[in-house]
A and B are shown apart, each in its own frame.
Chain A
Amino acid sequence: NAGVTQTPKFQVLKTGQSMTLQCAQDMNHEYMSWYRQDPGMGLRLIHYSVGAGITDQGEVPNGYNVSRSTTEDFPLRLLSAAPSQTSVYFCASSDRDSFTYEQYFGPGTRLTVT
Chain B
Amino acid sequence: GIQVEQSPPDLILQEGANSTLRCNFSDSVNNLQWFHQNPWGQLINLFYIPSGTKQNGRLSATTVATERYSLLYISSSQTTDSGVYFCAVGTTTDSWGKLQFGAGTQVVVTP
- The A-B contact count (CB < 8 A) is 67
What are the interface flags for B72-95 relative to A under an 8 Å C-beta threshold, 1 for contact and 0 otherwise?
000000000000001010000001
Contact B102 A42 (CB under 8 A): yes
Contact A96 B96 (CB under 8 A): yes
Assembly CA distance A92 to B88 (angstroms): 13
Q: Does B52 contact A (CB under 8 A)?
A: no
Residue of B nearest to A58 (CB): B98
Provided the pairs A42-B104, A59-B1, A102-B33 are in contact, do residues A50 and B97 lie with their beta carbons within 8 angstroms? Answer: yes
Residue of A nearest to B48 (CB): A100
Q: Top 3 nearest A-B pairs by Cβ distance?
A: A31-B97, A42-B101, A105-B43
Interface of A, helix, strand, loop or mixed by DSSP: strand
Contacts of B103 on A, CB cut-off 8 Å?
Answer: 40-42
Nearest Cβ in chain A — how far from B95, in angstroms? 5
Contacts of A61 on B, CB cut-off 8 Å?
Answer: none
Assembly CA distance A40 to B95 (angstroms): 26
Partner of B97, one of A43, A88, A94: A94
Contacts of B13 on A, CB cut-off 8 Å?
Answer: none
Contact B98 A48 (CB under 8 A): yes
Assembly CA distance A88 to B42 (angstroms): 11
Nearest Cβ in chain A — how far from B38, in angstroms? 11
Contacts of B96 on A, CB cut-off 8 Å?
Answer: 31, 50, 94, 96, 101
Beyond the given A58-B98, A100-B48, A103-B33, could you list 14 further A-B residue pairs with CB under 8 A, ordered by the A residue number?
A33-B97, A40-B103, A41-B103, A42-B86, A42-B88, A44-B101, A50-B95, A50-B97, A56-B95, A88-B41, A92-B43, A102-B33, A103-B88, A105-B44
